């Protein structure tokens, strides 16, 4: 059985390793230890890890801008999938956001991530067809 607790910066190495082991997930500069520490400081109590004993087998990160929640990096170790781990992580996140008055949240899902898309739809999330996301990189580094 797994348990869920809030993510601390001390979990960074385990979470980064989980990301590296997950096909289709790429680590960007914004996933550095320093950026992750800043993210967790700005959004205390809103990111979670799932553990079996001391081992981290899943994670989710979230933050907000005062109005809306933004979820990212939901992933579960391939050997621990289809056991409700992602659902439990998501519930922890949404409950924590709700407690601070955030009732609507967004997540970006790569168009190629069919399993991810199926998960969100089964969780009752609504796929937006009315919005296109635009991004801009103000850095020489395309992996910023």
Ligand X SMILES: CC(C)(COP(=O)(O)OP(=O)(O)OC[C@H]1O[C@@H](n2cnc3c(N)ncnc32)[C@H](O)[C@@H]1OP(=O)(O)O)[C@@H](O)C(=O)NCCC(=O)NCCS
In the complex, the residues that contact ligand X under the rule CB under 6 A are: 22, 25, 74-76, 81-87, 107, 109, 113, 115-116, 118-119, 122
Distance CA 115, CA 129 (A): 18
Q: Which is nearer to ligand X, 40 or 89 (CB)?
A: 89
Smallest separation (angstroms) from ligand X to the CB of 36: 17
Instruction: Give the integer Cα–Cα distance in Å for 102 and 82.
Output: 28
Mapping DSSP onto H, E and C, the string for 62-87 reads EEECCCCEEEEEEEECHHHCCCCHHH
Smallest distance from ligand X to CB 58, Å: 6
CB of 1 to ligand X, least distance (A): 11
Q: Kindly tell me which of 135 and 139 has the beta carbon lying closer to ligand X.
A: 135
Q: How far apart are CA 113 and CA 59, in angstroms?
A: 18
């Amino acid at each position: 059985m797994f348990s869920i607790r809030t993510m601390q910066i001390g979990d960074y190495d385990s979470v980064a390793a989980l990301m590296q082991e997950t096909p289709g997930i790429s680590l960007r500069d914004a996933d550095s230890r320093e950026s992750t520490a800043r993210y967790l400081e700005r959004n205390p109590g809103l990111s979670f890890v799932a553990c079996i004993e001391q081992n981290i087998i899943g994670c989710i990160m979230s933050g907000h801008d005062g109005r809306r929640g933004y979820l990212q990096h939901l992933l579960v170790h391939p050997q621990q999938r289809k056991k409700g781990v992602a659902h439990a992580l998501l519930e922890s996140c949404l409950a924590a956001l709700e407690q601070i008055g955030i009732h609507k949240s967004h997540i970006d899902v790569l168009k190629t991530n069919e399993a991810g898309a199926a998960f969100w739809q089964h969780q009752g999330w609504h796929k937006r067809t009315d919005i296109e996301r635009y991004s801009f990189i103000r850095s020489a580094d395309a992996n910023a």
